[in-house]
Structures are given as C-alpha cells and as structure tokens.
Amino acid sequence: MLENDIERIFFSAEQLQVRVCELGAELTHDFYDKNPLIIGVLKGSFVFMADLMRSIKTYCDIDFMSVSSYGNGTTTTGAVKITKDLSYDVQGRNIILIEDILDSGITLSYLKNYISAREPESISICALLDKPARRRSQIVPDYVGFICPDEFIVGYGLDYAERYRNLPYIGVLKPEIYT
C-alpha cells in the first residue's frame, strides 16, 4: 500500500543502518566523557535518533523539542513555532541537535539561536540528510549522514502530511501524491 506511492528507494534500510552506526562512532569519539544532551527535533528525527542513540557508546541525556514550520505542505512557511520546549536546563551542557533533514535551514537556525541564548557549552548539529540545494539560511551541520538531492523524500521518520514515517527506507514520493 505505502510502497505504491514511492517512485524509487533512495537510501535502503541497510545503507541507513551502516551510516547511523558510523555517525554513532563519530559522536562517541567526539563527546566521550562529556555527557552530551542529545535533543531530537520532533517528529521527523525520532526514528533516526533512536537508532543513533543505540550506536553512541558514552553517557548521554536526551530531550526533545517539537517545532512546526511546514504544516501539511512540502515547503517551509518560514515561521517557526515551538510546540514543545526542552525539559532540561542546557546551561553549560554540550548539546547535539538531531534533525532528520536539513533543508532550508530556517528551523535549525532558529533553534540554534534559541538554545544559544540559554548558554550551553557547545551546540553541534547532526542531520541524517543534508539538502543544500534548498538552503535559505547560513547553517552548516557538524555531522551528516547523507547529502540529498532536491527531491521530495519520505520514510525513516520523514513524512508527507504525517504519512510514510514508518517506511524502513527513504524513498522518493511520487509527485502525483503531493501535487
């Protein structure tokens, strides 16, 4: 059923797991003995973050933020609204912001500035996918799973109108579904 809406698979479940484990090893190395606070940007990051956390082999805390800037569309509205704020105090903490896809950069730019005002020790950005062709903000991720071309993709947490998050791979959505 869901698979019928996918034009082609872009990143297989196997490719995702290999790269997530590599990112986990990088984060373990860079944050070993720093007890980072890993902040997932909901909802899209939850699948990636769950797998990534199991690959990080050092102490860490987790928290989530929920923001909205897309609604049910395929492009950002440009207005970022925080719908769930942090539970932890971030002052003096090493923060790792986890995002499913860095697209326009508007949301992550806003969140980085928002969190910076709370005086963390550091803020790093880990994005599963980086889509630089759509960037409207000068933000650059510190850790990237894959560079992604300018196509509308879903799966592994990424959605269109809250659908397709449960696909185990990332695929290109057929244009007739969203146009």
**H-only helix segments in 38-133:** 46-55, 106-116
Contact in structure between 125 and 112 (CB atoms under 8 Å) = yes
Q: Is 103 annotated as catalytic? A: yes
Show Cβ contacts of residue 55 under 8 Å, excluding neighbours closer than 6 positions. Answer: 20, 21, 23, 24, 25, 27, 28
Show the beta-strand stretches assigned E in 85-165: 94-102, 122-130, 143-147, 153-154
* Residue 3: other Cβ atoms inside 10 A: 10
How far apart, in whole angstroms, are the C-alpha atoms of residue 70 and residue 12?
A: 25
Residue 113 and residue 2: Cα distance in Å, rounded? 37
Catalytic residue among 30, 61, 89, 103: 103
Q: Which residues are catalytic?
A: 103
